Amino acid sequence: MSSPLRPARVGAFGAAAILTVILAGCATAAPTPAPSASPQSDPVFATEEEALAAAEEAYAEYLALGAEVASDGGENAERMAAVTTGAALDQERQTFAGMRERDQTGTGQQEFDSFTLQNHDADGSVTAYLCLDISGTDLLDSNLQPVSPPDRIERYPLEVQFETAPDGKLVVSQSRSWSGENFC
C-alpha cells in the first residue's frame, strides 16, 4: 500500500533529523521517466547513460561531503558549495546551522539506490529519482547520545535536480521528497 507524500526539501544530513511521518507504505514501481528534451546545440551529455552516471557520481560526492560536515557538527558548512548550488546550498546552510545551534553531530553515511533518470537537457541539467537510505546514520547530542527518533522513517523517495557547474561537474541544485507514490 502506498500513500502520498508531503513535499519537503531534504538536505544531505537533514533527512536524519526529520521527525514527522512522511510516508506510510511502499510501492514497487518507480515513476516513469520523462523524455529528454531535444538539444538545440551540442549537449553536455551525449547519452542518457552518461547523464545518469554523472548524476550518480555527483550525488555520491554530495552525500559523502554532507556526512563529513555533519560529523564536524555542521562547522564549515560552506564546504557544501563544492557539491550544491541554489536552493540545495541554502538548505544545507540551514540544516548545518541548526546542528551547530543544538550542539549536534552526525554519524554514519547515508546511502542511495533505485537511481532513475527523469530527464536531462542540452544545458547539462539533470533530474533524477532515487531512494535515500538514512538507516546507517544518527544524530548525537553534546553528550554523544542519539537524538534521532527510534521509529523514524529510514528510506525516502526523492526527486533531485542537478546543474552543471562552471568546471563541468554536476552539483545538486534541489532535493525534495517525491510527491507521488512511494517507490522505495
pLDDT over threshold 50, residue 171: yes
Question: 58 phi and psi, to 5 degrees?
Answer: -65, -40
Encode pLDDT of 75-126 as tens digits: 999 999 999 999 999 999 999 999 999 999 999 999 999 999 999 998 889 9
DSSP letter for 60, please: H
User: Is there a contact between 22 and 181 (Cβ–Cβ < 8 Å)?
Assistant: no
CA distance 132 to 34: 21
Can you tell me which residue has the cell 555527483?
A: 58
What domains lie within the chain, and their CATH numbers? 14-20+45-177 (3.10.450.240)
Average pLDDT on 137-166 reads: 94
Query: Cα–Cα distances in Å, from 165 out to 56, 58, 60, 82, 96?
Result: 15, 11, 16, 9, 23
Q: Where are the alpha helices (DSSP H) in 3-147?
A: 48-71, 86-101
